């Protein structure tokens, strides 16, 4: 990730712009309205391969020349997309072997959007060719300030079981494992008689009579990530051969499945992310904050671009809830507060046709007189007022571990309980921290964690021995580690650690896990803590103490009377273990005790008042998002940027409103 | 639809008769029992292709000759089926390319019933050949009074994604759109880069990575309807070349999915329909009435034949509820009252073998001493007593709009809420009208509606500009129009109307829909009406008044305080809009106000007392079906045909019983 | 089933042993620990084809020689598996046409465990070859005391729709039906025009547009069973050509679907069975008892081996509940009490890798200090103390009918209610009998039933005329027969009996079933019995008395006022009919009356106290399993074998504990 200048002055603001759907005269209206709204950046060309290369090797750039010139004349910068997420009809017809085959053998054809096989040589060649043509033509166009490769790698389809993919998987496995003996050992093929004697017999984990080899599936997930990333690198390098602007591709944070964003973030010049609220969740703004923190974390703290979010409802969920007045502003300022220096939408103008016509837009079907467009114009104006935030950084004393390999592994079949999931556990622990007002980074288990007062591991099913050593060292050196149940179970091959469940964490936590005791659906029990008791369901464990103190005890359920929560002093630090799947409320007393150990002091603000601080060289910026239905007072000293009001110690933020205070640079240092 | 004589004297009565399943001696028993039961028409040969043409081009008509002669000798007329809904084993073996392929690529083989591809040239040729042979042989047979082409076109399978079908789809698209440019415009292929440059690249909307192009899917639904109808026309014309009897094919009314019955009804000489109660629905008789009214409406008011219903339980639902004593009579008389001049069953004698052996029949497994057979005999006698009804017509002052294109479009993926459905809305509005005792026709949005006092549009998601003009003209000319939510959203290409949601109805309704506000699962709010309040769930909208008055206001929910129900005076008429998905009870106060506007006066009878009037030249026939558990008094003057009792102003109809009164011709004119 | 000596001295104890997953030095540890645990038998080689035959025709037996020698040196006998349930990678690559194709056309590949097509000639040849090689090499090895052919035939996949299978199905049909005319008659192909004129047109009942021919599907189920059994026989005979030890294959009792265990049990020298608790069921131990009784019954009363069960949780259910302390002992003693002379587990040592690493084992991941290993050692010791039970037999006065053909037929589509199922009814009636403390055998409807006081038919949907005659004779000769609803409906071709539903049982029961009256979901009614009333749901019937007395009457529901439960005196016996699907509690008063008729006297013990008696030449052994949370007193006289305590009329069995009493040989004769 090279250090290049930020693509726009001030906060980037705009959205996807696909004017090829409208007659030319609409473009002029669009540009005038963009200026009204303060738009300074639009993403162009993301799905236009079929227009740019109408027949293989024939290009038509006239319309794009026109568009870029128009935008530039109006002072709107361009994030220029490569269109490779949606190969044209001719590509499918000419290279049918490039089509994706699903796990159960269905071939996916043309007529939606993406994607063909990332392993297809024909696809890779065609993608490099069109990216090269675009870079060659527009590298020096003054409108172009950013390159946007592809779109949401891994969605709507990641894994491919076609012959083309199987052949590539074999090559990747040879590279990874070196020999069949090594592969047989890593995959544990001695079980169920799966030993391989010939590389040609190794395939993808497609439909089988019973459950497929889990290590094979885990490797296939890694391979899928690798192939997608290889496609990105090919396009990125093709662009870089001609162009100097920063290059990005849009991630999906907590919704990214096939892409290990820790690795991806190293490949881009600037991280960008797409986020959409999940309608069934009445607290979807907590998931939004999680997503923003995760994005900033994979960007290693550097400013990032919210490349897509929605002005109101989306169209692809079951019941697509519209945003209520003010909600879009709150969402945008949460992203901003958590490190985004660009606030972009999908998309500028609502499409009349196609699969996404019911997706909201900056300019909705209802037109410029609408509530949504009014809020879009207001948001542009507000972002202009907070432009000085650009480049400032978020600081956190707490890290939450997040590892896509563990997500992939835990999601496989035949785990002790299918009710215990990676994403749910991460969200629940995150939500507890969010409600406590504690700002967090996410971290990889192998990261240097020494700058954090507290490290939380909500879902570390797969944890390598090296990661276990890293966490143990962190504790020994004075850190506080909080580990949730079903952790440290398997190694990088999804093999149970020698020494049993949780072996890599035994030293840090002072407990051994003898047996998992999942609960039946509807079954509950209690955990008696110091002076209180909380309910739990889903999961319990049979713990054996190996030095730890008991801080919570099961009452009822299969682990009745056994330790539930433990605390272990190790070296200069402390290791906590929670052997059950506590909910957000039940976690409160546990976290309170852990904070005390770690020296983390939650701010004690009312729940629903979201406050994050961004630090610049000379000032701190306190971004406040009030999710409550009533005005709230905040302790703050400084100038509120949206209103120029001066707060002398306390300021009121209206119901559902946002505020940004410039305050003196916080003296308080970070971490331990 | 030519005007041919009715196939039987009196009301047609009988059922499917498939004696090929039994030894010859059973046929004689059957015919004797049919006579006992008053059967005067049976449908023969519907699944007998494999018997009639044992090898390709070899025919065996001997058994059918025998059967028709036997029936004729016994005075039972024949509705002679073409057997093309179930091609023989040899057809599948000889023409495997004719097999249907499902959307996800599964090929459907032999061994059930139908169907191969309606686009297969081999199938079409074979179907025409066997129909021709039948027509040639039996055109002059005195038993044959009606031809029954195929069976339930579109069921059990309609869409076909085989190569044969894809090729035909391309031809159909060329014909429909003329050029690729027109197709690209209609389908909005500029979105997601789906533009086509070569007809050979255009395919069926089979499995894709994400959602397929909705306009393509809508065209594929039209194409499917067209191909099925083309098959019907080929057979019909082959018969007509030799025979003069009327020709029909059996529809499925509200359960018809792949067939646009407005178009189909124009192709047949007499409309016929199959209807089965839906077991999970405790008020399935309301759905039955809907089905009957819809059938009569596509027949444009002319008498029709209930070709199939059941004497008791069916076999293909999850829990197949048997009819209770008297229920079959009520069902039959509802069909009769709503315009059926034929009451037929599937099937005469219950099958011992095969997939439908648990389907009830006129002669059940329990034999002639059974309750069911007794009721069958009684029903035959009763139908004979009401023979004079034949040819009389039902009159309605109210029309309910029904458009299969809108059903197809609304059923596609990625709508604002998957909880809002076409069929549910039609049923709910219909049920309100049914409970109010208001007789309705169904109508197409482009029909001349001027004869109706009130037009109700429960589910007009797809509404063309022309249809919008038609409805506006209807209002301006003095009509009352009631439109339910999510209406007038898209045009014939599933593209959002220019001008936004509901644009074609803005003039008639005086409102604009700024945004859809679907509710989450379980979320509810209220609508405050004049003097009352009703609950609602599923759906609300953000309305902007453009001349309309507010007649209901949201309380709670995302539209809190906004207009929910509006009334607009336009020209000489009135346009009502209900922007939420009200239930049957909640609709009562709204409809009461709308009736008042329209001059519709509900009869005020107890709910569950179903009364429909059929008008003949000289008399009206009041058909009464009492669904209540108690006897009910009806205001009526005349002779009850089943009992010859004379009613002088009031008559009692027993609990669960039926009655038909001949009354003086109603002076009251219809419509406005 | 030949009479060969029992494979071990005393009760066989051990488990699957797959040491190929560990380095050689672990084997020595394993064997030492096995000795500690009292293990005397291990199953070896079950999934080792890929190791034994690394390339086609090349064998590597060195490791197995080593293993068998090691075990023998340590006094541990070997149940030697043939590895044919999991063909090697090279087999799939060399013979791709042998792969199984699912009903909807998905081809199942390598990488899980089993299975290829049982109809594949290549597979059969390869299986015979490897079995022959094993038999030749190890027939005389002193460790080998038992041969274990394959693994769980029919799981994880039974039916195969590949071309190889279709060709074999045709041959099987020719053999079964003789002629196409006979096949057409048996399948009722006259319905829906399915008549066949050429054997080449007959296929497997794969994906079709609507429901496939049920008789075809039933024959396909029979064919699947036949092909699997043919594979077993080929391997068995290959072994027998060289070896003299008994040969078995492991069944799955009530979970066996594709295998008719009545037929299979005739093919093996000793019956063995696998059983796992079903986690969602809080009374899974009742299902366990059912499974054990069914296994003993197919073994025709002879001792059998519990080949697999689990020490604690399994891994393949949704939420895999671990066994609680003592539960494994209770499970083992229930099997023992119901006739098992071998108590084996899957598996000895928990796997670190692969799909089953979360399956519990005798030696768990937590190692030898664990609760589970401690209980395993204890169990070994306890089994040694009860060795004298070996060879004793269980006696029952009551038989429950069980017929896999009826299961297959009832499971097909389009039955009157999909809420009424074979397995549920068998379990419910069994549970009633279990709670009443009545020991039962299972029996086939064609068995000689004369030795039973009572025969219960919980789910006899398919009942041949011959079976009906057998049951009628049983009643006439003095037996008491209790038949549950939906019985005697179809014959061996799934054709409704001439004479209507239940015709084969009319004489025995004195009732005719006129019509089935299934209830809607959530609908309930009552059955008024003598002095009490019980609730019911799901199912009622319209009965017509033909000599029977009414013993229960419907109150409410569609059969309101009609007979619900009837009793018929016929010859010297009695036939009871329960026309509704009563639950376990509701059955209590009905069974009480039936017991009285039959002269069956339930012991009147507290529910949850399980007592079964095994009879030897000189003594009876009373096996007591206390499922209650409190100690319970049992009336018994004799010596408790686990403790050597002497019970003089009464003994206490602790909460959750087990006991085995040697008592004097029970004088009481069995049966009538």
Query: What is chain B's length?
Result: 672
Please report the residues numbered 126 through 165 in chain A whose beta carbons come closer than 8 angstroms to any beta carbon of chain B.
Answer: 156-157
Within 13 A of B427's CA, how many CA atoms are on the CB side?
A: 18
For residue B665, name the pLDDT band (cuts at 50, 70, 90). Answer: confident
Contact B207 A109 (CB under 8 A): yes
For residue A669, name the pLDDT band (cuts at 50, 70, 90). Answer: very low
Does the beta carbon of A521 lie under 8 angstroms from any beta carbon of chain C?
A: yes
Mean per-residue pLDDT of chain A: 96
pLDDT of amino acid C5: 83
Place of tokens 């009285």: C596
Within 13 A of A13's CA, how many CA atoms are on the CB side?
A: 30
Q: CB-CB: which of C193, C194, C209 is closest to B156?
A: C209
pLDDT of amino acid C1: 39
Closest-CA residue of chain A to B206: A109
Domain boundaries, chain C: 12-161+219-390, 398-598, 609-664
**pLDDT tens column, C111-132:** 998 789 999 999 999 999 999 9
Start-to-end C-alpha separation, chain B? 28
**pLDDT tens column, A16-35:** 999 999 999 999 999 999 99
Residue A358 phi, psi (nearest 5)? -95, 10
Provide the token pair at B39.
Answer: 């059967």
**Rounded CA gap, C409 and C491, in Å?**
10
**pLDDT tens column, C380-431:** 999 999 999 999 999 999 999 999 999 999 999 999 999 999 999 999 999 9
Across the A:C interface, residue pairs with CB atoms under 8 Å apart total: 194
**pLDDT tens column, A422-454:** 999 999 999 999 999 999 999 999 999 999 999
Mean per-residue pLDDT of chain B: 96
The 3-class SS string of B421-479 reads CHHHHHHHHHHHHHHCCCCEEEECCCCCCCCCCEEEECCCCECCHHHHHHHHHHHHCCC
For residue C672, name the pLDDT band (cuts at 50, 70, 90). Answer: very low
pLDDT of amino acid C670: 42
Closest-CA residue of chain A to C279: A520
**pLDDT tens column, A138-193:** 999 999 999 999 999 999 989 999 999 999 999 999 999 999 999 999 999 999 99
**Rounded CA gap, B660 and B646, in Å?**
11
How many CB atoms lie under 10 A from the CB of residue C171? 12
Provide the token pair at B417.
Answer: 């809420």
Place of tokens 């040592």: C349
pLDDT at C92 over 90: yes
**Rounded CA gap, C65 and C56, in Å?**
20
Neighbouring subunits of C (3+ Cβ pairs under 8 A): A, B
What mean pLDDT is predicted for residues C547-572? 98
**Rounded CA gap, A329 and A623, in Å?**
12
**pLDDT tens column, C508-520:** 999 999 999 999 9
pLDDT of amino acid A4: 65
Min Cα–Cα distance to chain A from C158, Å: 10
Provide the token pair at B654.
Answer: 């027993």
Please report the residues numbered 485 through 504 in chain A whose beta carbons come closer than 8 angstroms to any beta carbon of chain C.
Answer: 490, 493-496, 498, 500-501
Give SS3 for C121. helix
**In chain B, what residues touch A279 (CB-CB under 8 Å)?**
520
CATH tag for C12-161+219-390 (out of 3.20.20.80, 3.40.350.10, 3.40.50.300, 3.30.565.10): 3.20.20.80
Between residues C666 and C170, the one the model is more confident about: C170
Please report the residues numbered 421 through 450 in chain C whose beta carbons come closer than 8 angstroms to any beta carbon of chain A.
Answer: none
**Rounded CA gap, C346 and C306, in Å?**
10
What mean pLDDT is predicted for residues A324-336? 98
Contact C366 A190 (CB under 8 A): no
Q: CB-CB: which of C86, C105, C279 is closest to A193?
A: C86
**pLDDT tens column, B178-235:** 999 999 999 999 999 999 999 999 999 999 999 999 999 999 999 999 999 999 999 9
ipTM for the assembly: 0.96
pLDDT of amino acid B114: 75
pLDDT at C597 over 80: yes
pLDDT of amino acid A2: 42
Q: CB-CB: which of C106, C113, C319 is closest to A519?
A: C319
A492's enclosing H/E stretch is: none
Q: CB-CB: which of C203, C494, C495 is closest to B111?
A: C203
Contact B313 C518 (CB under 8 A): yes
Contact C193 B88 (CB under 8 A): yes
Nearest to C200 by CA among B22, A670, B94: B94
Start-to-end C-alpha separation, chain A? 28
Place of tokens 């087990």: C658
pLDDT at C170 over 60: yes
Does the beta carbon of B346 lie under 8 angstroms from any beta carbon of chain C?
A: no
pLDDT of amino acid A115: 85
Angle between helices A284-298 and A327-337 (to 10 degrees): 30
Contact A357 B496 (CB under 8 A): yes
**In chain B, what residues touch C521 (CB-CB under 8 Å)?**
280, 318-319
Q: Would you please indicate which residues of A are annotated as catalytic (active-site) residues?
A: 152, 308
**In chain C, what residues touch A520 (CB-CB under 8 Å)?**
279-280, 282, 319, 321
pLDDT at A398 over 60: yes
For residue B247, name the pLDDT band (cuts at 50, 70, 90). Answer: very high
b/e code C130-144 from CB counts within 10 Å (16+ = b): bbbbbbebbbebebb
**In chain B, what residues touch A54 (CB-CB under 8 Å)?**
195, 197
Q: Would you please indicate which residues of B are annotated as catalytic (active-site) residues?
A: 152, 308
**Rounded CA gap, C219 and C204, in Å?**
10
**Rounded CA gap, C399 and C455, in Å?**
5
Strands across the sheet containing C247-248: C247-248, C144-148, C77-81, C41-44, C12-17, C340-345, C304-308, C272-274, C250-251
Contact B89 C195 (CB under 8 A): yes
| Domain A609-664: CATH architecture, name and number where available | Sandwich (2.60)
**pLDDT tens column, C322-381:** 999 999 999 999 999 999 999 999 999 999 999 999 999 999 999 999 999 999 999 999
- Residue B633's DSSP bridge partners are B652
Contacts of C531 (CB under 8 A, 6+ apart): none
Does the beta carbon of B301 lie under 8 angstroms from any beta carbon of chain A?
A: no
**pLDDT tens column, C606-661:** 999 999 999 999 999 999 999 999 999 999 999 999 999 999 999 999 999 999 99
**Rounded CA gap, A500 and C363, in Å?**
12
Q: Would you please indicate which residues of C are annotated as catalytic (active-site) residues?
A: 152, 308
Candidate from A164-168, A241-245, B113-117 with smallest mean pLDDT:
B113-117
Does the beta carbon of C312 lie under 8 angstroms from any beta carbon of chain A?
A: yes
- Residue B442's DSSP bridge partners are B400
pLDDT at A670 over 80: no
pLDDT at A671 over 50: no
User: Which long-range contacts link A365-372 to residues 24+ away (Cβ below 8 Å)?
Assistant: A365/B496, A365/B500, A365/B501, A366/B500, A366/B501, A366/B512, A366/B513, A366/B514, A366/B515, A366/B544, A367/B500, A368/A33, A370/B514, A370/B515, A371/A325, A371/B514, A371/B515, A371/B542, A372/A311, A372/A312, A372/A328, A372/B515
pLDDT of amino acid A5: 83
pLDDT of amino acid B666: 66
Contact A371 B193 (CB under 8 A): no
Judging by beta carbons within 10 Å of its beta carbon (0-12, 13-18, 19+), is residue C107 exposed, middle or buried? Answer: middle
**Rounded CA gap, B453 and B440, in Å?**
11
Contact C413 B355 (CB under 8 A): yes
pTM for this structure? Answer: 0.97
**In chain A, what residues touch C349 (CB-CB under 8 Å)?**
none
pLDDT of amino acid B620: 97
Neighbouring subunits of A (3+ Cβ pairs under 8 A): B, C
pLDDT of amino acid C114: 75
Nearest to C77 by CA among C47, C35, C48: C35
Fold of B398-598: Rossmann fold (3.40.50)
**pLDDT tens column, A103-134:** 999 999 999 987 899 999 999 999 999 999 99
**In chain C, what residues touch B366 (CB-CB under 8 Å)?**
500-501, 512-515, 544
**In chain B, what residues touch C188 (CB-CB under 8 Å)?**
21, 351-354
| Domain B12-158+244-392: CATH architecture, name and number where available | Alpha-Beta Barrel (3.20)
């Amino acid at each position: 990730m090279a250090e290049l200048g930020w693509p726009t002055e001030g906060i980037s603001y705009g959205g996807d712009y696909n004017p090829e759907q409208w007659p030319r005269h609409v473009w002029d209206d669009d540009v005038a309205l963009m200026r009204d709204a303060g738009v300074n950046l639009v993403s162009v060309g993301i799905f236009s391969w079929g227009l740019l290369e109408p027949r293989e090797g024939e290009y038509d750039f006239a319309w794009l020349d026109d568009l870029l010139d128009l935008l530039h004349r109006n002072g709107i910068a361009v994030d220029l997309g490569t269109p490779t997420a949606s190969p044209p009809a001719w590509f499918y017809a000419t290279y049918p072997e490039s089509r994706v085959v699903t796990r159960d053998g269905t071939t996916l054809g043309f007529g939606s959007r993406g994607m063909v096989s990332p392993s297809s040589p024909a696809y890779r060649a065609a993608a490099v060719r069109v990216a090269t043509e675009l870079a060659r033509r527009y590298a020096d166009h003054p409108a172009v300030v950013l390159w946007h490769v592809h779109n949401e790698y891994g969605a709507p389809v990641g894994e491919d079981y076609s012959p083309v993919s199987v052949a590539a998987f074999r090559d990747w496995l040879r590279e990874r494992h070196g020999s069949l003996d090594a592969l047989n050992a890593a995959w544990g093929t001695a079980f169920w008689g799966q030993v391989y004697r010939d590389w040609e017999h190794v395939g993808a984990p497609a439909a089988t009579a019973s459950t497929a080899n889990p290590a094979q599936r885990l490797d296939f997930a890694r391979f899928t990530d690798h192939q997608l990333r290889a496609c990105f690198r090919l396009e990125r390098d093709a662009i870089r051969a001609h162009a100097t602007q920063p290059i990005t591709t849009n991630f999906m944070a907590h919704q990214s499945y096939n892409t290990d964003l820790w690795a991806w973030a190293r490949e881009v010049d600037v991280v960008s992310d797409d986020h959409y609220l999940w309608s069934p969740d009445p607290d979807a703004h907590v998931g939004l904050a999680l997503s923003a923190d995760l994005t900033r974390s994979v960007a290693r703290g550097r400013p990032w671009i919210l490349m897509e979010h929605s002005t109101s409802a989306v169209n692809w969920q079951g019941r697509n809830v519209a945003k209520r007045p003010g909600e879009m502003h709150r969402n945008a300022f949460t992203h901003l507060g958590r490190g985004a220096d660009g606030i972009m939408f999908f998309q500028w103008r609502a499409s009349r046709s196609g699969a996404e016509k019911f997706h909201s837009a900056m300019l909705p079907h209802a037109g410029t007189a609408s509530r949504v467009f009014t809020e879009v114009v207001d948001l542009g104006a507000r972002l202009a007022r907070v432009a000085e935030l650009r480049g400032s950084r978020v600081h956190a004393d707490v890290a939450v571990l997040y590892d896509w390999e563990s997500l992939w592994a835990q999601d496989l079949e035949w785990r002790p309980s299918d009710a215990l999931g990676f994403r749910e556990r991460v969200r629940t622990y995150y939500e507890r921290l969010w409600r406590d007002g504690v700002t967090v980074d996410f971290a990889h288990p192998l990261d240097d964690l020494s700058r954090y007062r507290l490290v939380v591991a909500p879902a570390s099913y797969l944890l390598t021995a090296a990661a276990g050593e890293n966490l143990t060292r962190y504790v020994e050196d004075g850190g506080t580690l909080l580990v949730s149940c079903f952790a440290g179970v398997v190694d990088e091959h999804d093999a149970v650690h020698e020494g049993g469940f949780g072996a890599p964490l035994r030293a840090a936590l002072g407990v051994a896990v003898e047996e998992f005791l999942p609960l039946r659906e509807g079954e509950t029990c209690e955990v008696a803590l110091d002076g209180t008791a909380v309910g739990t369901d889903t999961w319990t464990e049979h713990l054996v103490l190996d030095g730890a103190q008991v801080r919570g005890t099961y009452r009822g359920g299969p682990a009745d009377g056994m330790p539930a929560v433990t605390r272990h002093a190790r070296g200069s630090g402390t290791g906590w273990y929670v052997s059950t799947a506590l909910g957000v409320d039940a976690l409160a007393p546990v976290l309170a005790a852990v904070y005390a150990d770690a020296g983390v002091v939650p701010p004690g603000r009312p729940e629903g008042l979201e406050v994050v601080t961004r630090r610049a060289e000379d000032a701190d910026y306190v971004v406040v998002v009030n999710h409550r239905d009533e005005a709230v007072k905040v302790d703050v000293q400084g100038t509120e940027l949206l209103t120029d009001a001066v707060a002398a110690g306390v300021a009121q933020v209206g119901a559902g409103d946002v505020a940004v205070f410039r305050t003196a640079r916080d003296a308080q240092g970070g971490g331990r």
